[in-house]
Amino acid sequence: MLIPVFTVDAFTNRPFFGNPAAVCLLENDLDEDSHQKIAMEMNLSETAFIRKLHPGDDFTKKNKNSVLTFVTLSGELRARQVEDHIVLDLPLYLTYPQELQEVEELIKAAVGDMIVQDLRYSPDTKKLLVRLSDAYERSVLEELQVSAQHFLSAEKTGKVKGLILTLKGNSSGKHKGHDFYSRYFAPWYGILEDPVTGSAHAVLSSYWSEQLGKKEMLAFQCSRRGGELKISLRNDGRVDIAGRVAIVLKGNLTF
């Protein structure tokens, strides 16, 4: 069996940046065991399988109104193409104030003695949002040395499954134009640091929209690979998160 496969770097237009994912085009159904084996072989954080709903469907045909629906462990994920961006349609998750005492050891493991300006929790996603002081520059977040493995022993509440570090953007300087920056860690799911995270921005979008009074924002995730996300809050309680893509590999899986 030959299965066309692509490696795509998302939220960037530069190869070897952004979030790498594998995309497989299926002519026929595969069993769950084959899906898992292919994903393990690709060895990336995400492997997407796109299947034709009808025999006459054409993978190569472009339709600006077409929407792809992915079934994930977190529910359905819809994606569509708008010009040179892929737009993800995600739910918008609210955050609520979090008492420092409950997660103080985790915060210490993450940022040491750095000043924390705000602390929020998203019960729907079990993500803890830590906003660093506005006095810090983007470079401070980028250069922060984090041992995410230590988070596992430092988190004693059992309710945190993802840690977001975030910082307000600068209106001047080399990196002006971004409304906010972030990094994301989820060692509870085996991800020490995710390069660029759409689901984390479903939380960040809600928080920073409230803080900045904006529904349209530009964000940058400051991982080693880095990635840029265009955010648009909708009136139906959802958020569109868009990014460019770079295809870095094309080939066929044979088995």
Query: What does the pLDDT average to over 150-178?
Result: 88
* Best CA proximity match to 201, nearest among 143, 125, 136: 125
**What's the Cα-to-Cα distance from 193 to each of 130, 182, 196, rounded to whole Å?**
15, 11, 9
- Coil, strand, or helix at residue 160? coil
- Which residue would you say has higher pLDDT here, 66 or 4? 4
Listed in sequence order, the residues at least 6 apart from 122 whose beta carbon sits closer than 8 Å to its beta carbon are: 93, 94, 95, 96, 128, 129, 203
Q: How many angstroms separate the CA atoms of 64 and 81, rounded?
A: 6
Where helices occur in the chain by DSSP H, the ranges are: 32-42, 100-111, 138-143, 149-154, 198-212
- Across the chain, mean pLDDT equals 92
Residue-level pLDDT at 156: 86
Q: For this structure, is 46 an active site residue?
A: yes
Domains 2-74+244-254 and 96-242 fall in the same CATH topology? yes
Q: Does position 44 have pLDDT exceeding 70, yes or no?
A: yes
pLDDT tens digits, 18-27 = 999 999 999 8
Catalytic residue among 27, 32, 41, 46: 46
- Enter the pTM of the model: 0.91
Domain assignments of the chain as residue spans, ordered by start: 2-74+244-254, 96-242
CATH for 2-74+244-254 is 3.10.310.10
pLDDT tens digits, 54-93 = 666 666 565 656 788 888 766 778 899 999 999 999 999 9
Domain 96-242: give its CATH superfamily: Diaminopimelate Epimerase; Chain A, domain 1 (3.10.310.10)
Confidence of residue 15 (pLDDT cuts 50, 70, 90): very high
Q: Which residue has the tokens 């792809």?
A: 68
Residue-level pLDDT at 57: 64
**Taking a C-beta distance cutoff of 8 angstroms, is the pair 51, 31 a contact?**
no
Q: How many angstroms separate the CA atoms of 5 and 48, rounded?
A: 10
Query: What does the pLDDT average to over 192-197?
Result: 95
Token pair in block for residue 66: 């077409």
